[in-house]
Amino acid sequence: MAPQIVLISGCSSGMGLSTAVFLAKDAEKRFKVYATMRNLAKKGHELEEEGKEYIGHTLIIKEMDVCSDESVEKTVKEVLDTEGRIDVLFNNAGINMVTPLECVPMTMAKEMFDVNYFGSLRLIQRVLPSMKARQSGLILNNSSHWGIVGVPFFELYCSSKFAIEGLTESLAPTLLQFNIRCCLLEPGPVQTQITQKAIGWCQENGVDETTADPKTRSLMELAFANIKRNSSGAMQSCEEIAQFVQEIILGEKNDLRHQPNQKFGPGEITAKLADPTGNASVDLITKHFFGE
């Protein structure tokens, strides 16, 4: 049987890299992976090293900037011209930001949405015509536990993931009429460098958290201490996420949401979805983030 053609964004590190390699090394050769990233020259070496046995066979590495219409169009066209189809799109590329909201320049807020939301939207728009024509496909959008539950000091990250949730939930009923699954991956804490990169990104752009008032800074310190405590014992590896993604691809269930981590933030998602007032969710997040 022909392998499934899988296009993944954001493969320079973390979940994207691990998923690309995990699928490419599948013993049954059920996947041919097109792993993409914004800058091959600067960031492609780790993927090349991890996947060196499979490059040119079940792993193809391409440069693609999800913030560029031209780059996305070019890459999708190349894959379709070569393979004739894209069976799976995994919108994985994303960036994080953690800082008091009033300290964030608008340019950074816009960049956050350009990567996390519009980047996925660009790819979805490009793959949909061929998937609809074939009446087949899977679009898996990487959201977050915090794409359902909004949390303090991650407001822009959460809101960008909320947008992905809304897009996916809105698309899913229509795409089912074309036999296309459109669903969400909602991981909890994962062992990646995304938070360290977020801190570096803020520093590079001159974000000065000292301009926030003392109470806000104190609350942020408390929130970070609680995040660290609540995440201990609940952290997952990128390899665990990669295996979970493979299970979604091979599965036949049409679940909208897929949550690989049942240990993190117990009760938060249930509280959010069960209470139409939203108060239960706010109360629980307040307890988890600001409880002593």
Of 34, 54, 117, 157, which residue is the catalytic one?
157
d(CA 147, CA 171): 17
**Residue 93: count of CB within 10 angstroms of its CB:** 24
d(CA 220, CA 227): 10
CA 280 to chain CA centroid, Å, is 26
| Beta bridge partners of residue 62, listed in sequence order | 36
Helices (H) and strands (E) in the chain, counts: 12, 7
**Residue 248: count of CB within 10 angstroms of its CB:** 19
d(CA 138, CA 183): 8
Q: Is 117 a catalytic residue?
A: no
Q: Is the backbone of residue 66 left (phi > 0), alpha (psi -120 to 50) or beta? A: alpha
Q: Exposed, middle or buried, 76 (CB in 10 Å: 0-12/13-18/19+)?
A: buried
DSSP assignment of 47-86 equals: HHHHTTTTBTTTEEEEE--TT-HHHHHHHHHHHHHHHS--
The residues carrying an active-site annotation are 157
